[in-house]
Amino acid sequence: MSTERGERDMKLQMRAATPADMPRIQQIVSEVWAIGSDFALEEKYGAVGEESWDRWLLPKVMSRLWQEIGQMLVTEVEGEIGGFVSWATDSARGVGTIHYNAVAPGFQGRGIGTMQIERVLEIFRDEGMSIACVGTGLNEGHAPARRMYEKAGFEPVIEYRMYSRRLD
């Protein structure tokens, strides 16, 4: 799928992710996920486990992405990977779930995240899913994602809050 969008006629191509893409995907994860729970714990308590938040986040996310590599697309912008999206489907229930949708900082604001979501929704429809789900944080760092999902027609179902406390 090739698409031209925007004033700069940026050439976008979405394609299946490959193992060779994983180093760039890991770089994007490390650039954009300084908004999640691991980061928030570090901001509140300092280094958790005596290492930076990304030491804990990267292995978790990358492990799941390696497991889902068959259900992951990358978006190339002029030949450079600018974003990726992964998902899973539950054919017994007819539910498709978007797990990760990320756009590298230098490529944000160009509609890439929305395009990735639209493509996954097409895949869900093609696979006979009747419901699409996605989760995101409630903090300010996730506000752009919430706006994008709501613009794509997603509606909030349940709110989630993470609690923490020191055990000193």
Q: What's the pLDDT at 34?
A: 66
Average pLDDT over residues 38-60: 73
Q: Which residues contact 129 (CB under 8 A, 6 or more apart)?
A: 89, 91, 94, 95, 96
Query: Does the pLDDT value for residue 131 go beyond 80?
Result: yes
Q: What's the pLDDT at 95?
A: 98
Query: Does the pLDDT value for residue 57 go beyond 90?
Result: no
Q: Please count the CA atoms within 13 angstroms of the CA of 106 that sit on its side-chain side.
A: 8
Share of the chain above pLDDT 70, in %: 87
Residue 87 lies in a domain: yes
CATH number of the domain enclosing 47: 3.40.630.30
- Could you tell me which of 10, 1, 3 has the C-alpha nearest to residue 107? 10
What domain range includes position 26?
Answer: 2-151
Query: Does the pLDDT value for residue 6 go beyond 50?
Result: no
Residue 76 lies in a domain: yes
Q: Read off the pTM.
A: 0.82
Residue 63 lies in a domain: yes
DSSP state of 98: E
Residue 158 lies in a domain: no
Residue 115 lies in a domain: yes
More confidently predicted of 36 and 27: 27
Residue 159 lies in a domain: no
Residue 160 lies in a domain: no
When divided into structural domains, the chain yields a total of 1
Residue 126 lies in a domain: yes
